[in-house]
Structure 1
């Protein structure tokens, strides 16, 4: 892939990249039919790109083979209508290489690769890990930095070094509440580096400093509104983008009162979009929180669309 092609991909990979949940059947098997249905709904609702098997997709609850099957099914459902960016990262280096190569084989536009979790690698080790992943494929790589769940923060200098040494590392999803950090990403990596917010309350602020968009779990519930934040900003309607930012705040808050994607799956179950099933060690929120989620949902979703929780 030539640099000119990277430039084309970078132009297309902007806006709301919806990180789709992995729906399960009651027996815990992957519900591929519902996955396809969710993807069609997202594209019809204006999501600018689709991602699966990221944090919201419960990748650590899936085997590597299941992750490949989900990636393949999603690619088929997307069918080239919007860019497709599956999550391929793992705490295991060889598995990350395997999944990222599979993403390339199925025609993904880019791969979203998380900072390895649990093992807390050094910055030097992170550099070697991501460099080898990037060199193993020709598709673009978007690094996923989420220190709250990985226990490791990818430093800006490490990211800048990777950006300089690996032409196909084109962006980063920052689920980082340190707004000074995300500002310095664009300062050190260049203003054309793709910066995405993975923090719901920073989706709008990151656009203001030159972000490329957001990868927001809340898009699973209200894909149209989350995409419209970017569309309004891109069209110069700053007030509309600000209004949406604040309108979604109550929903954003309740969806993160338990570990993602548990509240999301409860909400999607109430909306009749999926069976509200997670694999242990993840589980649905307490009944008390589910009741709260239901009350908040009524402000965003038509009441007749909400199915009473069990």
Structure 2
């Protein structure tokens, strides 16, 4: 197993949060998942994450989550780090999945703030501390208040960072950029800070972030990864140009709940069968037309003649 310091050096750049593809009968399409992972690695993604928000974990059974994690680790074959999402609203389930990720050989695990329960900061500390103490694998906390209805406060995260040597970073899907700045101030500049908000991926690098976990990487993995590559190489103008080039795609992919627009887009691109499980569903016909139009502007699909004005 890699040391924590080795993982911290490797886990930088675009960590692509892969969708979970379904077949027409809504069973998990593990073969397509493996193909997507290979495509991402060949396209330049710096790491892979599965069963995070984009991977629809709440729509999967426990055994399906386990097999998705296993498929990702086996498909990556050590070429890039793999960081499965192991969090749940259920503490014991989170412990089980995080321990299993370690046994399977994942490089790190991403653990979401429990959703629906709305735990206190004290309870959140105990939840994450217990998980960190149960494994040796590095952990990335996932703070997404828009989905969980509770924000992991900077003081709680700083306390966890101080008390748990294997809590190495946080994915902040938090639009409060002041909060995000304070994470590095109070947790230290070597704490790994990732953006989970597409329009904050570039700004996060500017304040010392380690990278981002952007759903848009599912559509254009090479271009999303190149934002980090350009920044790291000191080509600031190139990175900034890419940031703005990606903005129309970022915008349309979040006009409905993620990952519905992503799956519609990937279906149009011929990458997957565009299926979700209820209560999630594909976007409206009007939004799907808009998605196709945006994809066509990037030469990812051909615009239908009936949609060309």
- TM-score category (smaller protein): over 0.9
**Residue 158 of structure 1: CA displacement?**
0.1
1: CA distance, partners of 2:27 / 2:103: 24
Map 1:220-235; keep pairs closer than 5 Å.
Answer: 220-235=218-233
Q: Is the 8 A contact 2:296 2:302 kept in 1?
A: no
* Contact residue 86 and residue 97 of structure 2 kept, 8 A: yes
Question: 1:178: which partner in 2?
Answer: 176
Matches within 5 A, 1:1-310: 5-303=3-301
Per-residue deviation at 1:53?
Answer: 0.3
Whether contact under 8 Å (1:272, 1:305) holds in the other structure is: no
Can you give the 5+ residue segments of structure 2 that lack an aligned partner in the other structure?
A: none
Please give the secondary structure, in 1, of the residue aligned with 2:297: coil
Listed one character per residue, the Cα deviations across residues 269-294 of structure 1 (whole Å, up to 9, x for unaligned) are 00000000000000000000000000
Deviations 1:111-140 (A, max 9, x none): 000000001000000000000011111000
The Cα of 1:6 is off from its aligned counterpart by 1.2
Task: Tell me if structure 2 keeps the 8 A contact 1:194–1:212.
Answer: yes
Q: Counterparts of 2:221 and 2:175 in 1: how far apart (Å)?
A: 23
Q: What is the number of equivalent residue pairs in this alignment?
A: 306
Query: Once the 2 structures are TM-superposed, how far is the Cα of residue 300 of structure 1 from its aligned partner?
Result: 1.7
Query: Contact between 1:89 and 1:116, CA under 8 Å: does it hold in 2?
Result: yes
Query: How far, CA to CA, are the matches of 2:213 and 2:274 in structure 1?
Result: 22
Q: How far is 1:301 from its partner?
A: 3.3
Q: Which runs of 5+ in 1 are unaligned?
A: none
Runs (4+) of structure 1 moved beyond 3 Å? 301-306
Q: Are 2:52 and 2:85, in contact at CA under 8 Å, matched by a contact in 1?
A: yes
1:302 is displaced (CA, Å) by 3.5
Aligned counterparts of 1:273 and 1:79: Cα–Cα separation in 2: 21
**C-alpha displacement at 1:303, in angstroms?**
3.2
Q: Distance in 2 between matches of 1:299 and 1:130?
A: 43
Show CA shifts across 1:18-46 (max 9, x none): 00000000101000010000000000000
Q: TM-score, normalised by structure 1?
A: 0.97
Q: What's the Cα RMSD here?
A: 1.5
